[in-house]
Amino acid sequence: MANGQKDNETARKEGTGRHALITGASAGIGKDLAEVFARSGFDLVLVARREKRLHEIARDLEHRFAVTVHAVTLDLSEPGAAEWLHNEMRMRGLNIDALVCNAGFGVAGFYRDTSWADQHALCQVMMTGVAELCHRFAPDMGARGYGRILNVASLAGFLPPAPGGTLYIPAKAFEIKLSQALALEYTGENVHVTALCPGFTYTEFHDVMGTRAAMSSMPRFMWMKSMRVAEEGYKAVMQGKPVHIPGRLNRFIAWLAWALPSPAVNAILRRQALYAKKP
């Protein structure tokens, strides 16, 4: 039997009789993570705002991988959404064995020029919501002796703050630190917590942000396909890595951000801010 076949059978056994809940599952990395978990034998709970798209994905995964997929339409920016979701899973009798917090977005423009409603929604989805979902689901996992939590952060979480998109980098840094802390907290309980930190990835994110043209000017070698990111994220959380940065180039960028002297970095960022303010 080929090694690939053995790996697939092992992965399928991992998910047998288990459920994975994935937020932001209607596109991009979240959609591909849903496929990876389904391929590995997990039944799924997919959560996103786009109802029609979510149900299309659910039907496709059920057909291709013979798993059960529950589609839950939910806006995670609404206060109380995480509590409702946890209660809903209990009412349906679904034990969540793997939690993937992938939902997220950015708010383009300078902080002062954006609405607080948009900034508050970002905080709710990418910080408060992630923290609450982990707080509600992780103890159940610990009690059952099995759990996998994958928080989709970003390479940006390792980088210095930049002008525009002001809260995005702090939010991603928060997800990384939260994941590291929880990984330590659940040591020895067979509950793995991982922050997945992709760099430039081909998804709809830049279309939503209105930055597709700018991002398209970046060299192609800097980009990764979202399925590769998803597969690496799945492997990392199964292996119990607290943090995983896909791609050698991205790992080098993270190291460079750590290694460069702060005054030099700040000088570069100040020049970038001044350039961005020019009409």
Average pLDDT over residues 253-266: 76
Q: What's the pTM value of the predicted model, to 2 decimals?
A: 0.86
pLDDT at position 271: 58
Query: What CATH number does domain 3-254 carry, 3.40.50.300, 3.40.190.10, 3.40.50.720, 3.40.50.150?
Result: 3.40.50.720
pLDDT at position 268: 56
pLDDT at position 265: 60
Tally Cβ neighbours within 10 Å of residue 109.
16
Residue for token pair 């339409």: 73
For residue 202, list its beta bridge partners. Answer: 225
Cα-based torsion angle of the residue sequence 268, 273, 275, 277 in order, rounded to the nearest 10 degrees: -170
The model's pLDDT over 199-258, given as tens digits with 9 standing for 90+, comes to 887 655 544 444 445 455 565 656 689 999 999 999 999 999 999 999 889 998 889 888
Catalytic residues: 168
Residue 150 phi, psi dihedral angles, 5° rounding? -120, 110
pLDDT at position 217: 59
pLDDT band at 164 (very low <50, low <70, confident <90, very high): confident
108 to each of 112, 176, 231, how far by Cα in Å? 11, 22, 29
Whether the CB-CB separation of 99 and 85 falls below 8 Å is answered with no
pLDDT at position 269: 56
What stretches of the chain show up as alpha helix (H) in DSSP? 3-15, 28-39, 51-65, 81-91, 116-123, 129-144, 168-185, 205-209, 212-216, 226-239, 248-259, 262-277
For residue 194, list its beta bridge partners. Answer: 150
Please state, in angstroms and rounded to a whole number, the distance separating the CA atoms of residues 6 and 256: 38
pLDDT at position 144: 97
Task: Write down the domain spans for the chain.
Answer: 3-254
User: Of 162 and 196, which is predicted with more confidence?
Assistant: 196
Average pLDDT over residues 166-191: 97
The model's pLDDT over 8-61, given as tens digits with 9 standing for 90+, comes to 454 446 888 999 999 999 999 999 999 999 999 999 999 999 999 999 999 999
The model's pLDDT over 90-129, given as tens digits with 9 standing for 90+, comes to 999 999 999 999 999 999 899 999 999 999 999 999 999 9
Average pLDDT over residues 130-152: 98
pLDDT at position 220: 64
User: Of 78 and 215, which is predicted with more confidence?
Assistant: 78
Please state, in angstroms and rounded to a whole number, the distance separating the CA atoms of residues 270 and 279: 17
